[in-house]
Structure 1
Amino acid sequence: MWCNDFKKAFIGSELTCINAEGKTLSRIYLDSAASTLAFAPAQQATQAFLKYYANTHSSVHLSAKISSEAVAWAHQRVLSFFGATQGYSAVFQGNGATSPLNRLARGLSELRADKSTVLVSLMEHHSNDLPHRAHAKKVIHINIQDATGEFQGVDLIELEALCKAHQQQLNYIAVTAASNVSGHITPIYDIAEIAHKYGAYIVVDGAQIAAHAPIQLAQDNPQRSIDFFVFSGHKTYAPGSPGVLIGKTQLLDQLKPEFYGGGMVSEVSKFDYSVSGLLFDKEHAGTLNIPGIFMLATTLDFLDRVGMYSIYEKECMLTQYLIEMLQTIEGVKVYANTSNTQRIGAVSFNIQGLPHELLALILNDYFAIAVRNDCFCAHPFVRECLVDELWEIEDETQLPLYQGMVRASIGLYTNKADLQALEHALTCIVNNKAYYVSQYKLTDELHFVHKTFKLETQQYFNIEDTLTNCFSDYLSKEKISMYEQREEMA
C-alpha cells in the first residue's frame, strides 16, 4: 500500500533551490542510480538504537549485548531479504560495492589459481570490471551488441560458447544484475545455470537492482542459484551503511581472510595465532559499522513490508513513461533503447548538438532537476553507445564535450509529476537552445560555467554555522567565540 505522503519519508525530498532566474523551485532528484536519498524512519530507528550503542564481541553488559543482537538480527534480515537464508552468509565491507567486489576478485583468484580466466560483460560498472582485470590472469569481455551494433544485452548462446571454449581455465563469470547506464536487467539465473554447467562461479553486481526489483539468490534448481551477490547500502536508501557481499557459506569459508586484527581470531600467542572458525568473525576484523549495518537492515525490512514486487511494478510504469516521454521530444536520443529485456529506472540520453555537461547544468541551474552526466564509471559501455555519433564530429577539439551522456534515474520517492517536470524542462531547452547555450562559457579545462549565476553551496549548507548551532547547548558563547577567533588567525 502506498501512502499519499510517502515522498516525505525521504530526507531531502522537499528541498528547495534558487535557480539562475532568482526563482525558488522544489528540487527534483533524478540521480538515484548514483546514490539514493536517505529513508528517514530507518535513520530514526538507528538513533533509537544509538542510545544503547556499544561494541560487539561481548555479552557482559547491557549495551554490548544489545549491539551484538542488533548485528545478528541485521545479518539475518539482509539474507532473508534476498532469499538467502539457507546456505548463505553476508559480509559487511567498505562503503559500497567496490570493496566486496575487490575482495571476491582477490579471493577467487587465490582459491582457484589454476583457473586463469574470468568472463566479464561489457556493460559493467568499473567496480565489477577493474578488480577482475587486476587479479585474474585473463579477462574476456562478453559482447552485448548484435551483428548490427545494436544493444542486445548478454546473448546466452554466445556466452555458453565462450564458457565451452574456455572451460578448463574458467574461474567465474561477473555480470551486473542491472545496468547503471541503461537500466537493462540481466538474466542472472540463466547465466548462473550456464556458469555451473561449465564448473564456473557467478559473481553478480546487484548495486543497481537491490532496491528496485525482487531478488531470490537461492533457486529451487540449485544450478540456477547465485554464488556471490554484492550490493551497496548507499544505493538502497541507507547512505552511511556499508557495502555487502552475500555468498554461499561453503565458498566463503574457503577464502583466506581479507583483513587481520581484533575479532577475527580465536587465539593469539607470542608466536602464533588461530583464525576464528566462525565465518562472520573471520570476515570482520576490527569494529563493525554497527549503526550503518542496523540502518541498512531496517531499510530492507521496510522495503520487504511494502513488497518488492509492488515496488518493481510501480517503477516499471514510471520507467516506461520516462522512456516514451523522452522519445517524443525532438532532438533527444535515448541510448541502448531496446525492448528486448526488462529495465529498471536508469535511462541515459542526450540532446543532439548539446554537450552532456551543459545539459546537466541547465537542468540544475534553471529547473532545479538533479541528474548525473558523463560516463557513469562504465566507459566501455558508454563508448560503444556513442561511437557512431563521435565519429561524425569533424572538429576533434569538440570530442571531449560529447564523450558522455545524461542519466535520469528514479527511486521510491519519484512520481509522475517529477518526470513531467523533466519533460517540461527538456522541451524548453530544445525550443530555446541558443538562449541557454549563450548563458554559459567554456573554460580552458573544457568545463562549462554560467556567466552570471554562481551556485553558492554555503547558502544551503554552511558547515561552521551548522556546528556552532549544534554545539551551542554544550559550549559557552565565550568558548565558541575564542575558537572562531583562533580559526580566523590561523
Structure 2
Amino acid sequence: MIYLDNAATTLVKPDLVKERLIENFDKIGNPSRGFNKISLDTGRMVLDTRIKLARLFNIKDPRRLAFTANATEALNIAISSFIGKNDHVITSLIEHNSVLRPLYLKEKEGAELSFVGLKEGKEGILDYEMIEGLVRKNTKALVISHASNVTGNITDLSIVSDFCKKHGLLLIVDAAQSAGLIDIDVEKYGIDVLCFTGHKALYGLTGTGGIYIKEGLNPRAIKVGGSGINSFDKDHPQAMPDALEAGTINAYGILSLNASLDFLNQTGLSNIRKKEKDLLTYFDKSLREIPNLTIYGDKDLDKRVGILAINPSKISANDLAQILAEKYHIATRAGAHCAPLCHNALGTEEAGLVRFSLSYFNSKEEIDEAIKALKEILGDDYDSNNI
C-alpha cells in the first residue's frame, strides 16, 4: 500500500520506535505506583519524555505539561477550564470539530463565539485583517489551529500572538497537525495553552497526546481518581501534571513518544520539514499538470504542511478515494475531515475533498504512482465503474 493519509495518523513510524517498544515490552509497569524497579523505571521514562517534549516546545517547567489521550482531550480540558459562560471567544473557520464542539458546548452555557473568516478563493487563507474587528469587552481567548487539516495552511503565530498580547487574551493553540514538523516555541509566541497529539508528526502510537498550560493558569480536571499521591484526600491533586493525569497513563504510548523524540532530535526538525516540503512541492507541481482538477491551499508552499486537497470535476471525491484505495492501493481520505466550517467557506460542503497527506517516510516514487493513478482515473477513456 502507498499510504498518503498521514494527517489522520502516521502509519510508518521510525525504526527506533519499533525497536524500543519491542525491547521494553515486558519492562513497562505502572509509573509512580510503587517502589519496585519496574514501576520506578517506568516513572523515570515518563519524566524523561515529559522533559524531552518540554525542550521541543521550549517549555521552561516540564511539570506544566500533562499527557492526554489525544489533542481532542487536551482541547476539551483547555476550553472547559478557561472559557466561562459569559466569555467571548474568537476562533476561525479552519477549526477541527475538536475545537468547535467544545466551544459549542460553551455557547449553550452562554459563551459567545466569533470566527476569523477566509479570504476569497480556493486557497483557504485566513483573513487576519478581520481579527481586530472581532474584539469585544468580554473577549477572553483566541483558540486557533496552527495548521489546517483540510488545506495544510499554516497559521501565522506571530500575528495571532501580537494580537493576543495587545488585548490581553489567552492564546490556545491546536497543534495536532504541526507538532513534530514545525518549530513551536511557547515562550516566543506567548502561547498560554498548547494542545497536541502524539500519533501524527510526532510518530508516536495512537492514544497519545498532551497539553501545556502556562504557569498561573489552573486547569479543571475532566476526570479524577487515582493519582499515586495524597490517597487519603477527598479531592484530586490540583498541581500540574497530576491534576490532569488521573488513573494509569498510557506508558507504552509515552515510551513510543520517548523514542520518536529521540528520532526527531537525531534527524533534526528542519531536515524533516525540508523533506516533507520537497515532496509537497513535487506533488503540487505534478498535480497542476492534470486537467479538470481543483487544488486547494496556499500557493506559497512555505506556508503549508504536507497536505494536498483536491476535487475532480469528472467524478465525486468519495468515488476517487475509493478507486485509489481499491484498485491502486493508495490510501487517502475523502469527505469533510471533521472541519465543517472550512468546507462551507470553500464551497465544498456537498462534494467534500480528497486529501493527500505526506510524511517524512514517503518517497517521490510513491508520489509518481499516485500521479499516474490520478491521470488514469481522470482520463477521458476511464470507466469508473470498472474497479
Give the TM-score, by structure 1 length. 0.74
Task: State the partner residue of 1:140.
Answer: 114
- CA, structure 1 residues 57+438, in 2 after alignment: closer, same or farther (shift >3 Å)? closer
Amino acid of the structure 1 residue aligned with 2:244? E
Per the TM alignment, residue 129 of structure 1 is displaced from its structure 2 partner at its CA by: 1.5
Task: State the partner residue of 2:96.
Answer: 125
Per the TM alignment, residue 43 of structure 1 is displaced from its structure 2 partner at its CA by: 2.6
**Contact 2:54–2:62 (Cα < 8 Å) also in 1:** no
Q: 1:141-184 CA distances to partner (integer Å, 9 max, x unpaired)?
A: 111224xx554523333212323xx1x21111111111111111
Correspondent of 1:314 among 275, 285, 288: 275
Tell me: higher relative CO, structure 1 or 2? Use CA pairs within 8 A at least 6 residues apart. Answer: 2
Correspondent of 1:40 among 15, 20, 34: 15
Task: State the partner residue of 2:195.
Answer: 230
Correspondent of 1:409 among 357, 362, 372: 357
Amino acid of the structure 1 residue aligned with 2:286? M
Task: State the partner residue of 1:247.
Answer: 213
Task: State the partner residue of 2:144.
Answer: 175
Aligned length: 382
**Contact 1:90–1:244 (Cα < 8 Å) also in 2:** yes
CA–CA separation in structure 2 for the residues paired with 1:337 and 1:433: 32
Amino acid of the structure 2 residue aligned with 1:155? D
CA–CA separation in structure 1 for the residues paired with 2:310 and 2:119: 18
**Contact 1:100–1:230 (Cα < 8 Å) also in 2:** yes
Instruction: Name the % identity.
Output: 25
Q: 1:291-321 CA distances to partner (integer Å, 9 max, x unpaired)?
A: 1112112212211210111111111111111
Instruction: Identify, as 1 or 2, the structure richer in helix.
Output: 1
SS of 2:199's partner is helix
Task: State the partner residue of 1:73.
Answer: 48
Q: Which moved more, 1:151-160 or 1:319-328?
A: 151-160
- CA, structure 1 residues 32+335, in 2 after alignment: closer, same or farther (shift >3 Å)? same
Correspondent of 1:189 among 152, 158, 162: 158
SS of 2:304's partner is coil
CA–CA separation in structure 1 for the residues paired with 2:381 and 2:303: 33
Q: Does 1:323 align with 2:288?
A: no
CA–CA separation in structure 1 for the residues paired with 2:162 and 2:265: 27
Task: State the partner residue of 1:101.
Answer: 75
Per the TM alignment, residue 204 of structure 1 is displaced from its structure 2 partner at its CA by: 0.9
Q: Does 1:347 align with 2:313?
A: no
Per the TM alignment, residue 336 of structure 1 is displaced from its structure 2 partner at its CA by: 3.2
Q: 1:34-70 CA distances to partner (integer Å, 9 max, x unpaired)?
A: 1101333213212323332221224521111101111
Per the TM alignment, residue 286 of structure 1 is displaced from its structure 2 partner at its CA by: 1.0
**Contact 1:123–1:380 (Cα < 8 Å) also in 2:** yes
CA–CA separation in structure 1 for the residues paired with 2:55 and 2:228: 25
Gaps of 5+ in 1: 1-26, 391-401, 440-449, 451-490
Give the TM-score, by structure 2 length. 0.92
Larger Rg: 1
Amino acid of the structure 1 residue aligned with 2:4? L
Task: State the partner residue of 1:418.
Answer: 366
Gaps of 5+ in 2: none
Per the TM alignment, residue 226 of structure 1 is displaced from its structure 2 partner at its CA by: 1.2
Q: 1:447-482 CA distances to partner (integer Å, 9 max, x unpaired)?
A: xxx5xxxxxxxxxxxxxxxxxxxxxxxxxxxxxxxx
Correspondent of 1:371 among 328, 332, 345: 332
Matches within 5 A, 1:385-464: 385-386=346-347, 403-432=351-380, 434-435=382-383, 437-439=384-386
CA–CA separation in structure 1 for the residues paired with 2:381 and 2:58: 49
SS of 2:378's partner is helix
- CA, structure 1 residues 54+152, in 2 after alignment: closer, same or farther (shift >3 Å)? closer
CA–CA separation in structure 2 for the residues paired with 1:428 and 1:138: 49
Task: State the partner residue of 1:359.
Answer: 320
**Contact 1:374–1:403 (Cα < 8 Å) also in 2:** yes
SS of 1:268's partner is coil
- CA, structure 1 residues 264+204, in 2 after alignment: closer, same or farther (shift >3 Å)? farther
CA–CA separation in structure 2 for the residues paired with 1:324 and 1:77: 37
Q: Does 1:261 align with 2:200?
A: no
SS of 1:411's partner is coil
Q: Does 1:56 align with 2:31?
A: yes
CA–CA separation in structure 2 for the residues paired with 1:87 and 1:237: 20
**Contact 1:188–1:204 (Cα < 8 Å) also in 2:** no
CA–CA separation in structure 2 for the residues paired with 1:32 and 1:152: 20
Q: 1:98-121 CA distances to partner (integer Å, 9 max, x unpaired)?
A: 1111111111124xx55x111111
Task: State the partner residue of 2:132.
Answer: 160
- CA, structure 1 residues 417+117, in 2 after alignment: closer, same or farther (shift >3 Å)? same
Matches within 5 A, 1:20-35: 27-35=1-9
CA–CA separation in structure 1 for the residues paired with 2:40 and 2:139: 45
